[in-house]
Structure 1
Amino acid sequence: MLESVVTAALTSALNSLSDRQNAIADNIANVNTPGYRAKRVMFEDALAASVKAGDGHVAATTALSLEPTQTNGNNVNLDTETLSNVETTLRYQFAAQAVNGEFTSMRTALKTQ
Structure 2
Amino acid sequence: MDLLNNSTNTLIQSALSASTMRQNTISENIANVDTPNYKAKKTIFNHELHKAINNSLSAKRTDNRHVEFGGQGLNGMPAQIIKRSNTQMNHNGNNVDIDLEMAELAKNQIYYNALIDRLNGRYNSIRTVLGQGR
Q: TM-score range by the shorter chain?
A: 0.7 to 0.9
Identity of aligned residues (%): 31
1:104 matched to 2:119? The reply is: no
Amino acid at match of 2:83: L
1:26 matched to 2:35? The reply is: no
Residues 1:9 and 1:58: Cα distance change in structure 2 (over 3 Å): farther
- Runs (4+) of structure 1 exceeding 4 A deviation are none
1:8 matched to 2:10? The reply is: yes
CA distance in 1, matches of 2:116, 2:125: 14
CA distance in 1, matches of 2:43, 2:131: 40
CA distance in 1, matches of 2:95, 2:84: 8
1:80 matched to 2:80? The reply is: no
Report deviation, 1:63: 0.5
CA distance in 2, matches of 1:98, 1:54: 21
CA distance in 2, matches of 1:81, 1:110: 43
CA distance in 1, matches of 2:116, 2:77: 17
Report deviation, 1:87: 0.4
Question: CA RMSD, aligned part only?
Answer: 1.9
**Correspondence for 1:65 among 74, 77, 84:** 84
Contact 1:12–1:58 (CA under 8 A) maintained in structure 2: no
CA distance in 1, matches of 2:130, 2:113: 26
Q: Which structure has the larger Rg over C-alpha atoms?
A: 2
Report deviation, 1:99: 0.5
CA distance in 2, matches of 1:110, 1:25: 40
CA distance in 2, matches of 1:11, 1:19: 12
In the alignment, structure 2 segments of 5+ residues that lack a partner are 57-75
Report deviation, 1:12: 0.9
Q: Which has the higher helix share?
A: 1
In the alignment, structure 1 segments of 5+ residues that lack a partner are none
State the TM-score, normalized to the length of structure 2.
0.75
